[in-house]
Amino acid sequence: MPNPVDDRSLTEVLAYYDTWLAFNQRYQRVPGVQAAVYAGERVAFSSAYGSADVEGGVALTTDHLFRIASHSKTFTATAVLQLVEQGRLRLDDKASAHVTEIVGTPLGDRTLRDLLSHAGGVTRDSLEADFWQLATPFPDREHLLAVLRADTSAVLEDNDRFKYSNIGFGLLGLVIEAVTGTSYNEHVQTAVVNKLGLAGLGPELDPARSTEYAVGYSAYAYADQRVPIEHVDTRALAAATGFYGTAHDLVSYWSAHLMGDERLLSDASKRQMQHGLWRTMEEDGPKYGLGLMINQVAKRDVFGHGGGYPGHITRSMVDAERRIAVAVLTNAIDGPAAQLAEGVLKLIDLAVSKERGEGDLARFTGRFANLWGVMDIALLGGRLYQIDPTGADPTAEPTELSPSGDSAVRVTSGSGYGGFGEDLRFEFDADGKVAEVRGASGLVSRPIEQYSLPEKVTAVR
């Protein structure tokens, strides 16, 4: 059984996660970050940081829409499994049994299971895929069919290995259309989104909601400045990459994939989706199920998906045993969505790793800065930890702190290069808030909101 996440520890983790996300949005220079956490059978956390439109000076809110791109594959897989449960499809059906335009082609013989698990050996995006940098439109139905019929689109034999394919999921969209007699967008809206009553999710760019979308931005890797990137329709590849959403509604969607919730699928179908069929690398590593990415965070199995759309990078993760889901959406093509999503799962794992401590420790917490950098003192699971918020993993080297009198805490873990065995000494103001803390190294730090540098740092003589 998993270590339980009690309400007090969850509250402590989410309080710190909020400040950690805010710091990283600024520190990593991401235009905007939107995040949500489902826990305790509810959306326990939903917040937003930074800008939805830098040039327009629009602050990001929890209602802004993001292009969640390859998250679309989970909605497509859900729709296919629903049709399987209804007896209208079988996972072993060949694609050409429903999309007759590709009868007699190599890809026509691929099964729905092959396509859902990326085991069909299908080209990732075709020989010419500059629609991913908006140099051409995304393929329409006829363009997609032409790609599917081309000899060059069967790159590998089926079931040779995992090979991710947007084209393969585009084909699944055509299968859904053939079976239901409606467009892919209309069917998944009705069969998946509307069943959950989520207004913040949809299968494709909605021009009527254009003012609600967060502006997407380019990366710093090739330029000193970010530039905005236009939102476009993904047309026949909507089943692979068209969806938009908010973090709040995305974790609400993921809650329907937890066992015992049959709003969308039976538990038997969910087990098929969540079962890792293929390793995504040749050696031991992450797996892929039916429309789901499966990997480990803090040595725990999680499932979910990521999404990369021109200007938006997004990531969702679900710890099914603990019934926790997290979604982080960023509006930059180099946004660290996976890192920021993993952060809360790792913080929860740290918080429940030991029995809760006792005493009034919250007064020691905060973010403190000096010339050398920033340190956080966080209360997690009833224990104090010193954390470096600039690290990719907030729990990589957590230093545990134990009370040492009324105005000090002692370093009781960590590297010998640090202050093991020494005290952090606090001074409090008249309101009981930390005015300064002198670290185990002997350096004084102050609350970050009170810390500022002069135009030049000069020595005191």
pLDDT tens for 138-190 read: 999 999 999 999 999 999 999 999 999 999 999 999 999 999 999 999 999 99
Which of the residues in the chain have pLDDT under 70?
1-3
Helical spans, DSSP H, in 28-165:
72-85, 112-116, 141-149
- Domain limit, last residue, from 353, 376, 401: 353
Whether 348 and 366 share a structural domain? no
Whether 339 and 440 share a structural domain? no
Is the CA virtual torsion 123, 124, 129, 131 positive or negative?
positive
pLDDT at 3: 60
Whether 326 and 387 share a structural domain? no
Widest distance between CA atoms in the chain: 85
Whether 439 and 327 share a structural domain? no
Determine phi and psi for 427, rounding to 5 degrees.
-115, 135
pLDDT at 441: 83
- CB within 8 A of 419, min separation 6: which ones? 411, 439, 440, 441
Whether 423 and 287 share a structural domain? no
**Whole-structure pTM over 0.85, yes or no?**
yes
CA dihedral 286, 287, 292, 298 (to 10 degrees): -40
The tally of domains found in the chain comes to 2
Whether 316 and 372 share a structural domain? no
Whether 327 and 374 share a structural domain? no
Instruction: Return d(Cα 75, Cα 193) in angstroms, integer.
Output: 9
Query: Is 283 part of a structural domain of the chain?
Result: yes
Query: Is 231 part of a structural domain of the chain?
Result: yes
Query: Is 104 part of a structural domain of the chain?
Result: yes
For 232-284, what is each residue's pLDDT tens digit?
999 999 999 999 999 999 999 999 999 999 999 999 999 999 999 999 987 77
pLDDT at 1: 45
Domain span at 424 = 362-450
Query: Is 460 part of a structural domain of the chain?
Result: no
For residues 104-121, b (16+ Cβ closer than 10 Å) or e, as one string?
A: ebbbbbbbbbbbbbbbbb
For 376-386, what is each residue's pLDDT tens digit?
999 999 999 99
